[in-house]
Amino acid sequence: MSLLSIVVIIVALVAFILMFRSKDLLRDEVQQAAFDAAASAQNISNPKKPFSLARVQTALWTIIILSAYIYEYFYKGCCGGIIPELNTTALTLLGLSIGVTAIAGATDNSQQNNPVRHQNNPSEGFINDILSDENGISIHRFQAVLFTIFAAIIYINKVCCDPNTLPELDKTLLGIITLSYSGYVGMKINENK
């Protein structure tokens, strides 16, 4: 791996981290009055919005695939004019995560009039936020997180082992991720009811 690819990836990661810390890009939308009331009831002086599982997954796959793309581009030699192609796996992972984020956002918007939404509670920390619904930690969220982590580790390992191409994940693993994300979206529809 060239030093230039490492520098570019680090700069991209730092930019993402700074952007995510300064903005609410990874956090749920809240009903401000209900959020303020929940923070006041819990005696929290500087409340933060809870993290969104769907947004976190989208950011994760964006960072991983962008880093792999940059790595491959500089590994092959940017001066050679070789531009890597996004393959089916990269497009599937990006498409799934964006689709889940869109459906989760539409679901949350449709529940705006619900007087009790768990999204209106202040953050209880990153892990608790992404794993919990109104009833606490839920199996469908837990499963989606586990398979995301598992697939991310495999994807990164494949990038490191063969930097000549963006990695292809097994169709069965992509199917499991699709089912897991579909289960999350299906169960999310019934959250806050």
Q: For residue 12, give the 3-state DSSP assignment.
A: helix
The phi, psi pair for 26, rounded to 5°, reads -100, 10
Per-residue pLDDT of the chain (193 residues; tens, 9 = 90+): 567 667 777 887 787 788 777 778 889 988 888 898 889 999 998 899 999 999 999 999 998 998 888 888 777 655 555 677 789 999 999 999 999 999 998 988 888 777 678 888 999 999 999 999 888 899 999 999 999 999 999 998 888 887 677 889 999 999 999 999 999 999 988 877 6
What six digits make up the tokens of 174? 């992509």
